[in-house]
Amino acid sequence: MNSRDKRNEPMVDGGDIQGVIPWGHGSLVESRFVLFGIDDPENSGSWLAELVERVPSATDRPTESCVHVSFTRAGLEKLGLPDDVVGRFSREFLEGVATPHRQRCFGDVGESAPEKWGWGSPGGETIHGMLALYASDSNTLGRAYEEEMVRLEDSGLRSLHTLDTSSENGNREHFGFRDGVARVFIEGIGHRGSAHDTVKPGEVLLGYRNEFDQFPPSPTVASAHDPRNFLPADSRYPDRRDLGKNGSYLVFRQLEQDVYAFWKFLDEQTGEPDGNPRPETRTWLAAKMVGRWPDGAPLATNPSRVGPSGRCIESDVHNAFGYGDDPLGTKTPIASHIRRTNPRDTIVENAQQSRRISRTHRIVRRGRVYGPPLSSTFDVDEILGRGPDGVSRGLHFLCFNAALGRQFEFIQQTWIHNPKFGGLYSDSDPIMGIPPAEGGAFTVPANPVRRRVTGLPRFVQVRGAGYFFMPGKRALRYLAFVAAKRPS
């Protein structure tokens, strides 16, 4: 049973947690993700044992480059973890992201169906894990990558797919909107932030209490199978050891954005009857869809972008707002992207209760943009002039959470892809949603009556996805031990 004796509960053990989870490595602007397969597990143990000592924990703050590692279910099995231990990971992780049920819930259909993914497809090569490399500049990244690849290949592993990221966009995602204004903080470790956005460690890391004051389920190993005591004792069962402690479930989805189609649609919807564009209205409609202006100022506090002084001010860009004064959505539409990925104080009628509930549905995002921008200044006329260029660009979406069903999957299914969200009828998320064949609708509440845009196409397609587990360092040493002693 969960012990109610809190005096003996440890602080968050930063020395064991892989550093990217609480810190994000924002200053290491270059990164690369390598999806690997373990061809010959014989030397995977020594490979992993050597790698672990170089993985930075949350108490290390790398300034030049670093590497992190995570595994899929197949990867854990390939390393030699027995079935009964693997079976103790969460059901969602074990099933993987590409099940028919998840396809329905996340809209991974049509062009975004798993069969068409470039990686992670059930019929494609089995991914066993991922190396995430971070570096301060591209030369350093290149060198670190070469070194890791040598070690990888020498040990019987193989790189299956490499995903680059781009630092060209600065702090903007490809549609031109500033990203990363809304952040989630973990109590007891990592960056500090406002109370509303700080969650209990158990929401992200296994082995700590979550917002329900419970420990999330964590995979354990019989003590007899950990004779060298790599793993910490399990808090619930005295004869078992906690394999999942200080680890987290990682969701990785490659989201390709059709930047040209997005602005083309907006241009057409807001143009004059004779076809001339109306740039201000165009930007206004885009802001209504996202919930923030392109520079990041929220509609909730800035219904029109230009401040009273006539200029755009940086201090307008912030995250300290709610929707309590906007129940109908006339400032921030109910259907808009940021409102539905985090309803803040309007999940239920009571604001305090809403905030508490919203903390049970947060994720720590660690994604990175990829691909060159269609316009380096995000100038819409330039984008429209360029036309579709066939270059893949978008977001490598990564997030950490402890309870996939209640966190990532919940946000996707119940908030983003739910046309009935917040009392709506048929508005899916305008940016990421899956409209029906005839095109989706987006409602902009207004006085005296709503404005509505119809015929929304799909702007974001999924090109690959996977569920991974990023273990703590002691767990990695244990996995190396398991892999080394498995009968060949």
Partner 1 sequence: MTNEQSALTLLIPVRAEALETLRARLSQVVDEGIGVNTLFPFQRMTTIHFGRWFILEEMDDSPPRLGLATNYDGSLEGHIGDMIERADSGLDVLLECCCGYPDAARRNEETRREFLIRHEIPTQAFYVGARWRTVRQVRREAELRAHIQEFLDHRISDLAEPSPSARDLYREIREHVKTDPEFSWALEPVTKRSTRDWTEYIGTFLVHALRGLLLVPIVPFWFVFVRYHEMRDPLPIQRGDSDHVRALVRREDRIGQNQLTMVSQVKPGWFRMTTLRLVLWAIHVAARYVFNRGRLAGVPTIHFARFFFIDGRRRVVFLSNFDGSWEQYLGDFIDIAAFGLTAVWTNTTDFPPTRFLFSGGARDEQGFKSLIRRSQLHTRAWYSAYPELSVENVNRNSRVRSGLGKPLSERATKAWLEEL
Q: By three-state DSSP, how is residue 453 classified? A: strand
Among 423, 437, 438, 485, binds partner 1 (CB under 8 A): 423
Find the shortest distance in angstroms from Cβ 45 to partner 1. Answer: 29
Three-class SS of residue 192? coil
Distance of CA 267 to the CA centre of its chain: 30
Comparison of 168 and 349: residue with beta carbon closer to partner 1: 349
Binding residues among 244-283 for partner 1 as defined by CB under 8 A? 269-270, 273, 278, 281
Residue 217 near partner 1 by CB under 8 A:
yes
Closer residue to partner 1 (CB): 93 or 478: 93
Instruction: Kindly give the pairing relationship between strand 185-186 and strand 198-199.
Output: parallel
By CB under 8 A, residue 448 contacts partner 1: yes
Footprint of partner 1 on residues 316-345 (CB under 8 A)? 328
Q: Which stretch binds partner 1 (CB under 8 A): 87-95, 127-135, 240-248, 477-485?
A: 87-95
**Binding segment toward partner 1, per CB under 8 A, in 159-167, 237-245, 392-400, 448-456:** 448-456
- Which residue type is seen at 147? E
Beta-carbon count within 10 A of 123 CB? 8
113 binds partner 1 (CB under 8 A): no
Q: What distance in Å separates the CA atoms of residue 184 and residue 344, rounded to the nearest whole number? A: 12
Please tell me whether residue 308 adopts helix, strand or coil conformation.
coil
Of residues 392 through 411, those in contact with partner 1 by CB under 8 A are 405-406, 409-410
- Report the distance separating Cα 127 and Cα 71, nearest Å: 9
Smallest gap from Cβ 135 to partner 1, in A, equals 38
| Separation of alpha carbons 479 and 45, rounded Å | 7
Kindly give the residue spans of alpha helices, DSSP state H, lying in 155-278. Answer: 259-270
The residues pairing with 444 across neighbouring beta strands, listed in sequence order, are: 451
Asked if 109 is part of the footprint of partner 1 (rule: CB under 8 A), the reply reads no
Instruction: List helix spans (H) across 303-414.
Output: 337-341, 351-358, 380-386, 408-410
Q: Among 58, 49, 53, 71, which Cα is nearest to 20's?
A: 58
Q: Contact between 292 and partner 1 (CB under 8 A)?
A: no
Instruction: Map residue 168 onto helix, strand or coil.
Output: coil
Cα separation, 85 vs 83, in Å, equals 5
Q: Does 425 bind partner 1 (CB under 8 A)?
A: yes
CA 45/CA 23 separation, integer angstroms = 28
Site size for partner 1 (CB under 8 A): 49
Interacting span for partner 1 (CB under 8 A) from 88-96, 147-155, 223-231, 313-321: 88-96
Segment interacting with partner 1 (CB under 8 A) among 95-103, 227-235, 303-311, 386-394: 95-103
Rounded to the nearest whole angstrom, what is the least distance from the CB of residue 192 to partner 1 in the complex?
A: 27
Buried b (16+ CB within 10 A) or exposed e, 71-81: bbbbbbbbbbb
Using rule CB under 8 A, residue 95 touches partner 1: yes
Which of 353, 386, 391, 457 touches partner 1 (CB under 8 A)?
A: 353
Which window, 91-99, 197-205, 387-395, 461-469, contacts partner 1 (CB under 8 A)?
91-99
Query: How far apart are the C-alpha atoms of 72 and 126, rounded to whole Å?
Result: 9
Binding site for partner 1 (CB under 8 A): 1, 87, 91, 94-95, 100-101, 104-105, 212, 214, 216-217, 269-270, 273, 278, 281, 285, 328, 347-349, 353, 356-357, 360, 405-406, 409-410, 413-414, 418-420, 423, 425, 444-454
